[in-house]
Amino acid sequence: MNQTFPWLILFLPLIAAVGITLLTQRSKSLSAVLSIGAIAASFLLSLVLFMSLKGNIGLNETLAKSWLSVGNLQVDFGFKLDSLSLLMLLIVTGVGTAIHVYSWGYMHDDPSVSRYFASLSLFTFSMLGIVLSNNLVMMFIFWELVGLSSYLLIGFWYQKNSAADAAKKAFLTNRIGDFGFLMGIILIWALVGTVDFTRLQDAFRANPALLGTSATAAGLLIFCGAMGKSAQFPLHVWLPDAMEGPTPVSALIHAATMVAAGVYMLCRVFFLFSPTALEVIAWIGGLTSLMAALIAVQQQDIKRILAYSTLSQLGYMVMAVGLQGPAASMYHLTTHAFFKALLFLGAGSVIHAMHHEQNIWQMGNLKKKMPATYWTFLIGTLALCGVPPFSGFFSKDAILAVAWEHNSWLFCIALFVAFLTTFYMFRLFFVAFHGVGKSKSVDHAHESPSIMTTPLWLLAIPSVISGWLGVEHFVGKNFGMTGDHHLNFIEEIFYPFSHAPFAAMTGIMATIVGFSLAYALYSKAVVDPLPEKLHGLSRAMRNRFYWDEIFNGLIRITHEAAATLANGIDRWIIGGFFVKGLHGTTEFAGRALRLVQTGNIQTYALLLVAGLAVVLFLILH
């Protein structure tokens, strides 16, 4: 069973994708059935696999077939089943199934639904490939395929200029990260001789100084990939634009799973990073987290707020890895997947009801109109803001604890971000769901059908309870964390207070302050009061700190300029001066020589005599 299940889990979605593309494009419902069926099956199989393997401490199974074997480059197609991958399998397939079902309701009226489900299944296949892969090259391959799926899904409504642009931007930004990633992989292979995770880890255990002086460089290059995929500064610019895709896509890919792939990868190769590399990673994570939270404070589009929130939480996760807390990072990845997907699907429900209005200042009073959406959104918000006993409290506390232990500056930043998170989330909540209806669309709003609200309730459950399940300890087995496991249920709930009381208390305080401020400013607001109070800062936040404009300018003066220069040289110098010049010279020489052929006998006689004279001169001299 353990041998065949991973193959089925991985390939069922691919079969669905190919099947839909070739066979069922005309039939919306058949396509949906294929796609939902595949991922649901994968979820069930993952569950069974998890149950049968989880008790196994020191679990480390691999099944591998050789994919490419040339010289001393050996790339397998293989699976690595340990607590890290088993946990991630459940998240991807579980959240994925809920979102697939939701999509059927949300996308029902779209003419290209079959293409949507085919792309979604392709994405599932690619993401599961990243989770299961047992070596760097295989992970890179699926990494790129996930990028392709993201491109296809962001650009799903490709006839819209903004969507087509966003898809291209996402792919290209990710490719910049992949550039560093691939270089890192090649560097590691050249120094160690293998790309297999298990063999790499063993090599490192035997000789921690294996990479020598290149250790930090290799680590940071690998981190480039995570920067791209998990949208860390400066490669964060693609994620907000990715909201052009359908909302279920934003929930699945750009909140719960794909963007988490970067964090997952960092945890997978955690043993590679030198202390310097980890420090850099921590700071980039922390600063991304801060910047994104600040931007979220002044956004008006409900999806953009959630997008920047995702950016900020991803920053948290990356920072945790850098602070040597990969288990805490994976913990937050898990809880975040549930409540963020929930929030996005809730936002989708709102958008659906408001006939595609996304500006929160056009909403209001939705509590009465959409109770199911309201309550589940509240649960998601409380979880995100780290209110106990919701799941987010536990995972955020794990990260705060790690920060407090290792780096007080980052702890302060993380605390401030916790405050900001609560602030902007409740700003969103109050403006959209409370107060008075701020536009006509609110009058027509009504609750979404149950095919959309059921997944909301399903995701609300783990958003509440996943903090009580010992996730951190389960995944911590991978990182050599011992002790503290087999806690009972009550101990699990109070773990943050017993383990790191200062972090827990300050975290709760930050949340309370954020909530109060949001309540004061936004519970009855009809327009945003902040721009008046903060002037330029507010404008900068709303304009995303102008990073898009800065990067566009930079690209124009460097890369585009280089291309123009190259093109100019190609046309005028190589093609013009040299080739046409050669052509011209030959032609000129021909014309010059032609002048000798005058057709005039006197000329020929003259030349004959002159030539004779030269020859005589040369012979007699």
* Number of residues in the chain: 621
Which of 53, 164, 469, 513 is the binder for other proteins (CB under 8 A)?
Answer: 164
Which of 41, 176, 512, 534 is the binder for other proteins (CB under 8 A)?
Answer: 176
Nearer to other proteins among residue 549 and residue 570 (C-beta): 570
CB 144 within 8 A of CB 177: no
Nearer to other proteins among residue 223 and residue 433 (C-beta): 223
Examine residue 178 and tell whether it contacts other proteins (CB under 8 A).
yes
Residues 44-103 that bind other proteins (CB under 8 A): 66-73
Examine residue 171 and tell whether it contacts other proteins (CB under 8 A).
yes
Cis status of the peptide bond prior to 531, with omega within 30 of 0: no
| Alpha-carbon distances, residue 308 vs 231, 239, 340, 517, 532 (angstroms) | 10, 8, 12, 20, 22
Nearer to other proteins among residue 20 and residue 137 (C-beta): 137
- Mask 544-583, x = binds other proteins (CB under 8 A)? ---------------xx-xxxxxx-xx---xx--xx----
Which of 51, 160, 558, 613 is the binder for other proteins (CB under 8 A)?
Answer: 160
**Window contacting other proteins (CB under 8 A); options: 4-12, 81-89, 135-143, 429-437:** 135-143
**Please, what is the minimum distance in Å from the beta carbon of residue 6 to other proteins?**
18
**Please, what is the minimum distance in Å from the beta carbon of residue 248 to other proteins?**
21
Which of 15, 172, 481, 517 is the binder for other proteins (CB under 8 A)?
Answer: 172
| Alpha-carbon distances, residue 480 vs 44, 279, 326, 475, 477 (angstroms) | 29, 21, 11, 10, 5
Residues 517-541 as b/e (b if ≥16 CB within 10 A, e otherwise) read bbeebbeebeebebeeeeeeebeeb
Which of 5, 43, 102, 140 is the binder for other proteins (CB under 8 A)?
Answer: 140
| Alpha-carbon distances, residue 235 vs 29, 168, 220, 239 (angstroms) | 38, 14, 14, 9
Which two three-digit tokens encode residue 513?
Answer: 């302050």
**Largest separation between any pair of C-alpha atoms in the chain:** 120
Does an H or E element contain 474, and which?
A: helix 471-476
Which residues lie closer than 8 Å to 195 by C-beta, 6 or more apart? 73, 74, 75, 135, 136, 137, 185, 188, 189
Nearer to other proteins among residue 49 and residue 192 (C-beta): 192
Examine residue 2 and tell whether it contacts other proteins (CB under 8 A).
no
**Please, what is the minimum distance in Å from the beta carbon of residue 21 to other proteins?**
9
**Please, what is the minimum distance in Å from the beta carbon of residue 68 to other proteins?**
6
Examine residue 148 and tell whether it contacts other proteins (CB under 8 A).
yes
CA distance 271 to 215: 11
**Window contacting other proteins (CB under 8 A); options: 96-104, 163-171, 303-311, 545-553:** 163-171
Question: Any idea what DSSP says for residue 571?
Answer: I
Q: How many residues bind other proteins (CB under 8 A)?
A: 57
**Window contacting other proteins (CB under 8 A); options: 143-151, 252-260, 351-359, 534-542:** 143-151
Which of 193, 208, 371, 611 is the binder for other proteins (CB under 8 A)?
Answer: 193
Examine residue 194 and tell whether it contacts other proteins (CB under 8 A).
yes
Examine residue 159 and tell whether it contacts other proteins (CB under 8 A).
yes
**Please, what is the minimum distance in Å from the beta carbon of residue 25 to other proteins?**
9
CB 76 within 8 A of CB 65: yes
**Please, what is the minimum distance in Å from the beta carbon of residue 176 to other proteins?**
6
Examine residue 522 and tell whether it contacts other proteins (CB under 8 A).
no
- Give the type of residue at 73: L
Residues 267-326 that bind other proteins (CB under 8 A): none
Question: Any idea what DSSP says for residue 73?
Answer: E
CB 270 within 8 A of CB 321: yes
Residues 444-503 that bind other proteins (CB under 8 A): none
DSSP three-state, residue 321:
helix
**Please, is 122 exposed, middle or buried when counting C-beta atoms within 10 Å of its C-beta (0-12, 13-18, 19+)?**
buried
**Window contacting other proteins (CB under 8 A); options: 1-9, 139-147, 354-362, 473-481:** 139-147
CB 177 within 8 A of CB 225: yes
Examine residue 208 and tell whether it contacts other proteins (CB under 8 A).
no
Examine residue 244 and tell whether it contacts other proteins (CB under 8 A).
no
**Please, what is the minimum distance in Å from the beta carbon of residue 557 to other proteins?**
14
CB 316 within 8 A of CB 384: no
Which two three-digit tokens encode residue 573?
Answer: 């110098």
Examine residue 505 and tell whether it contacts other proteins (CB under 8 A).
no
Query: 3-class secondary structure for 179-229?
Result: HHHHHHHHHHHHHHCCCEHHHHHHHHHHCCCCCHHHHHHHHHHHHHHHHHH
Nearer to other proteins among residue 186 and residue 513 (C-beta): 186
**Please, what is the minimum distance in Å from the beta carbon of residue 271 to other proteins?**
16
Q: Using CB under 8 A as the criterion, which residues of the chain lie in contact with other proteins when the complex forms?
A: 66-73, 137, 140-142, 144-145, 148, 155, 158-161, 164-165, 167-168, 171-172, 175-176, 178-179, 182-183, 186-187, 189-194, 203, 206-207, 559-560, 562-567, 569-570, 574-575, 578-579
